[in-house]
């Protein structure tokens, strides 16, 4: 299948080696922009666009999107692990529609506690029932609609992904699962404790959803 009219945007932090494995997984003929908070290292393939700028995931993702010239934007976190079959399903999903908010199913890698499997089940259930995927499910959206929504908020330390999804859904953008699964690291549950991390995520998510819905309502009322 030919490469889709899509740009993969990968945010990379100041000290974040996971992106190296991800870049090796991506199809060589797909457009890739690394939105980094560090200088371009030696040895990165010249086909990969590397944009260096201030740290902050929302800011980095927006900077990468501003450089893209494709119809679709696919935001993939640096610690994502993707099977080869996923790329065909993403390309097919993009080819069959002009708009929408796509995301993959979520699994956690084996680098954290086994209970993280419950978090993946919860994330997939929430996405299916309420259309609220997180950024680590690799959000895919048309560039036009991304810019109409003013991109990601840059003033949030965390949760810019969920805030964006809530605003997109409030604007009437349909969300749908792209066939396939993405594995992501579970090390945050290992490093900070499964119960503490899960509880904190739920509190933060409730607050972000409430604030994003209020913001979207104010915008629609203007």
Looking at the chain, the number of H-run helices and the number of E-run strands are 8, 8
Q: Report phi then psi at 6, rounded to 5.
A: -145, 145
Q: Binning pLDDT at 50, 70 and 90, where does residue 217 land? A: low
In a domain, 70, yes or no: yes
118-127, 175-184, 198-207: which range is least confident on average? 198-207
In a domain, 160, yes or no: yes
Q: What is the DSSP string of 53-111?
A: --S-HHHHHHHHHHH--SSEEEE--TT-EE-HHHHHHHHHHHHT-SS-EEEEEEEE-SS
**Hunting for tokens 């679709």 — which residue is that?**
72
Range of the domain at 157: 6-221
159 has a pLDDT exceeding 70: yes
CATH number at residue 184: 3.90.550.10
CA–CA distance, 34 with 68 (Å, rounded to integer): 11
In a domain, 161, yes or no: yes
In the chain, the DSSP E strands lie at 6-12, 31-36, 48-52, 72-75, 81-82, 101-108, 139-142, 175-184
**Hunting for tokens 């499910």 — which residue is that?**
137
Tokens for 12, please give them: 């990379």
In a domain, 1, yes or no: no
In a domain, 122, yes or no: yes
pLDDT greater at residue 67 or residue 3: 67
The count of structural domains within the chain is 1
Distance of CA 3 to the CA centre of its chain: 20
pLDDT in tens, 40-94: 988 888 889 999 999 999 999 999 999 999 999 999 999 999 999 999 999 999 9
Distance of CA 130 to the CA centre of its chain: 17
23 has a pLDDT exceeding 80: yes
Among candidates 171, 181, 112, 119, which has minimal Cα distance to 141?
171
Burial of 212 (0-12, 13-18, 19+ CB in 10 A): buried
Percent of the chain with pLDDT strictly greater than 70 = 96
Q: Binning pLDDT at 50, 70 and 90, where does residue 206 land? A: confident
Residue 130: its H or E element? helix 116-130
Q: Look up the pTM and report it.
A: 0.92
């Amino acid at each position: 299948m030919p490469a889709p009219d899509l740009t993969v945007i990968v945010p990379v932090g100041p000290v974040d080696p996971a992106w190296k494995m991800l870049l090796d997984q991506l199809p060589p003929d797909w457009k890739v922009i690394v939105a980094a908070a560090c200088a371009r290292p030696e040895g990165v393939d010249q086909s990969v666009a590397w944009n260096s700028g201030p740290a902050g995931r929302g800011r980095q993702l927006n900077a990468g999107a501003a450089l893209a010239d494709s119809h679709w934007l696919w935001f993939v976190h640096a610690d994502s692990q993707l099977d080869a079959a996923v790329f065909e399903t993403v390309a097919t999903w993009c080819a069959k529609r002009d708009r929408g908010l796509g995301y993959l199913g979520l699994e956690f890698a084996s680098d954290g506690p086994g209970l993280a499997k419950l978090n993946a089940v919860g994330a997939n259930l929430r996405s299916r029932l309420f259309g609220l995927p997180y950024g680590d499910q690799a959000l895919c959206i048309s560039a036009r609609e991304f810019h109409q929504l003013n991109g990601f908020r840059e003033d949030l330390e965390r949760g810019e992904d969920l805030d964006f999804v809530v605003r997109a859904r409030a604007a009437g953008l349909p969300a749908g699962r792209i066939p396939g699964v993405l594995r992501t690291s579970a090390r945050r549950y290992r490093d900070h404790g499964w119960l503490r991390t899960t509880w904190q995520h739920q509190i933060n998510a409730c607050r972000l959803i409430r604030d994003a819905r209020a913001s979207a309502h104010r915008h629609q009322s203007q």
